[in-house]
Amino acid sequence: MPGVVHVQTTINGNPTDFLCEPRQSLLEVLRDVLGMTGTKEGCNDGNCGACTVVFDGRIVTSCLVLGVEAQGKEITTIEGVASPEGLHPVQQAFLENAALQCGICTPGFIVATKALLEQEPDADEGRIRHWLAGNLCRCTGYDKIVRAVLDAETKLNA
């Protein structure tokens, strides 16, 4: 195919090679090229946060990153949050606090929450709501999500 680029990157700690067209977003590459469908598409214009991944240490909406930009970068997706030992405390907290209903926004929220608590382990409710304002949830009204984040924070700090 003309214009296909070979990209070498690291996803969830694994060196990963892929081919993509420059017009393909990182989200498309993750889902369609690499089959990593845990990262979700809700709007494809950066306004819902369902496709949130960690890209070189910062959370970004992967729909607004080109796949080719992944060259030489470190990426963490929802598939990289749990470990062989089990769920990450943030995942466990979402589960136990009924912080998901349909679950489509959940991977984005979990990736964003994990990044927040790594940077700001004492974030208060206001900061949590501010940090997560780029992640839309239409089912929960956010109440149980915010409680889950506070719960995860308590457990991580214990």
| Residue 39 in contact with another protein, rule: CB under 8 A | yes
* Residue 109 contacts residue 149 (beta carbons within 8 Å): no
| Residue 41 in contact with another protein, rule: CB under 8 A | yes
| Residue 59 in contact with another protein, rule: CB under 8 A | yes
Q: Interface residues for another protein in 8-27 (CB under 8 A)? A: 21-25
Q: Tell me which DSSP letter residue 66 carries.
A: B
**Closest to 62 in 3D by CA, of 20, 117, 118, 124:** 20
Q: Which of 29, 131, 151, 153: binder of another protein (CB under 8 A)?
A: 131
Q: Which of 10, 89, 134, 155: binder of another protein (CB under 8 A)?
A: 134
| Residue 101 in contact with another protein, rule: CB under 8 A | yes
Q: How many positions of this chain bind another protein (CB under 8 A)? A: 82
> How many angstroms separate the CA atoms of 153 and 79, rounded?
21
Which strand (E) or helix (H) includes residue 60? Answer: strand 58-61
